[in-house]
């Protein structure tokens, strides 16, 4: 057994001449909440469909729970719960009856305990009150919750959730987040896709950033955050002397702008091996540079993702 729940090498999917997924190398550790993050159309759903054997790869390899995809999926899938785009339910059956049907299709689910499992799954996603309603009358958010409940019927080693908060209101989104957390606390690996950075930041331990089918970055959230270059913002009435000092310590001055108080705002990138900020400030002052403001800032995850994907993330919705 490896320590990876999902691993892909060069995974590729081509639709006609379009590369929906382009040589993807994913490594999702067991026990992680691993986010597949990218704007719409970046290849998240296609990747997930390949992992679950719902679409054939054009190239590359994938392993799920140490089983080769697609050959070994028969052995892996009983341990995988999945929610993928637009879960299909019978509109004329109630939510509970739909789940009972799906549960019956899984040989691991014993008939005697079925109604208990269904009730418990509905409870976890907050659908107990709507259990007896026909799915036809469900909102998009309720259908999404029912899809989640389906993935939760049996205990799984791996949960794969494709945009699980689609169609949910902020309250529903919070509930899904805390559900993911509690599943992860119970030892389940969760692979979750999202186009919403804010959502990912709050719940995942790892992330892979995709753009146009390509992997742009991958790692723990801390690693991804640290990947951005730190910047120094210095407000000074002595810009020439200040810039000379910064350069002396290996910083690269990238911008200067007149400040409201008549002094100058200098921006400089702070290399990994630069002296500590407090030391820099002391040196500036010792060199006779007036320091009216000094700030070290790292790019936010959002700035980082914008830089990686070349487009803004929909963080509000």
Applying CB under 5 A, which residues contact Mg ion?
44-45
> 4-23 mask for ligand ADP (x: CB under 6 A)?
-----------x----x---
- CA 304, CA 263: separation in Å to the nearest integer? 29
**Least spacing, CB of residue 250 vs ligand ADP, in Å:** 40
Could you tell me the smallest distance in angstroms from the CB atom of residue 18 to ligand ADP?
Answer: 6
Q: Give dist(CA 272, CA 192) in Å, integer.
A: 32
Contacts of 76 (CB under 8 A, 6+ apart): 64, 65, 66, 67, 69
Cα–Cα distance, 282 to 284 (Å, whole number): 5
Q: Which does 172 bind (CB under 5 to 8 A by kind): ligand ADP, Mg ion, none?
A: none
DSSP string computed for 155-195: --SEEEEESTTTT--HHHHHHHHHHHHHHHHTT-EEEEEES
Asked if residues 206 and 194 have their Cβ atoms less than 8 Å apart, the reply is no
Indicate the residue among 236 and 313 with the shorter CB distance to ligand ADP: 313
Instruction: State whether residue 12 is helix, strand or coil.
Output: strand
Residues 32-71 that bind ligand ADP (CB under 6 A): 38, 40-46
Total residues at interface with ligand ADP (CB under 6 A): 10
* Minimum gap (Å) between residue 316 Cβ and ligand ADP: 18
- Nearest approach, Cβ of 107 to ligand ADP (angstroms)? 30
Give me the sign of the Cα torsion angle 224, 201, 193, 106: positive
Binding partner of residue 20 among ligand ADP, Mg ion, none, CB under 5 to 8 Å per kind?
ligand ADP
Cis before 17 (ω within 30):
no
**Closest to ligand ADP by CB, 47 or 264:** 47
Residue 105 site contact among Mg ion, ligand ADP, none (CB < 5 to 8 Å, cut-off depends on kind): none
Q: Kindly state the helix (H) or strand (E) to which residue 137 belongs, with its residue range.
A: none
| Partner from ligand ADP, Mg ion, none binding residue 112, C-beta < 5-8 Å depending on class | none
Rounded least distance, CB 204 to ligand ADP, Å = 16
Q: Which is nearer to ligand ADP, 81 or 213 (CB)?
A: 213
**Interacting residues with ligand ADP (CB under 6 A):** 15, 20, 38, 40-46
């Amino acid at each position: 057994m490896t320590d990876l729940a999902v691993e892909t090498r060069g995974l590729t999917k081509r639709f006609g001449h379009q590369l929906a997924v382009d040589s993807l190398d994913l490594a999702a550790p067991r026990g992680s909440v691993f986010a597949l993050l990218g704007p719409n159309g970046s290849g998240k759903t296609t990747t997930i469909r390949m992992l679950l054997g719902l679409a054939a790869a054009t190239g590359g390899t994938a392993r799920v729970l140490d089983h080769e995809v697609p050959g070994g999926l028969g052995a892996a899938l009983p341990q995988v719960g999945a929610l993928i785009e637009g879960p299909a339910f019978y509109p004329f059956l109630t939510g509970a009856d739909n789940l009972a049907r799906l549960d019956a299709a899984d040989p691991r689910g014993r008939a005697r305990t079925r109604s208990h499992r269904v009730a418990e799954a509905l409870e976890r996603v907050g659908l107990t009150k709507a259990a007896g309603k026909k799915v036809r009358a469900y909102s998009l958010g309720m259908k999404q919750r029912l899809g989640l409940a389906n993935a939760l019927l049996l205990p799984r080693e791996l949960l794969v959730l494709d945009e699980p908060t689609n169609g949910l209101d902020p309250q529903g989104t919070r509930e899904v987040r805390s559900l993911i957390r509690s599943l992860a606390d119970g030892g389940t690996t969760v692979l979750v896709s999202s186009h919403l950075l804010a959502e990912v930041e709050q719940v995942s331990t790892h992330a892979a950033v995709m753009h146009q089918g390509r992997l742009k970055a991958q790692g723990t959230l801390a690693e991804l955050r640290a990947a951005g270059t730190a910047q120094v913002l210095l407000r000074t009435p002595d810009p020439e002397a200040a810039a000379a000092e910064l350069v002396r310590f290996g910083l690269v001055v990238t911008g200067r702008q007149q400040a409201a108080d008549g002094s100058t705002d200098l921006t400089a990138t702070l290399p990994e091996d630069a002296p500590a900020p407090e030391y820099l400030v002391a040196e500036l002052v010792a060199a006779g540079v007036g320091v009216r403001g000094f700030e070290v800032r790292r790019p936010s995850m959002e700035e980082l993702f914008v830089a990686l994907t070349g487009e803004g993330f929909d963080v509000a919705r």
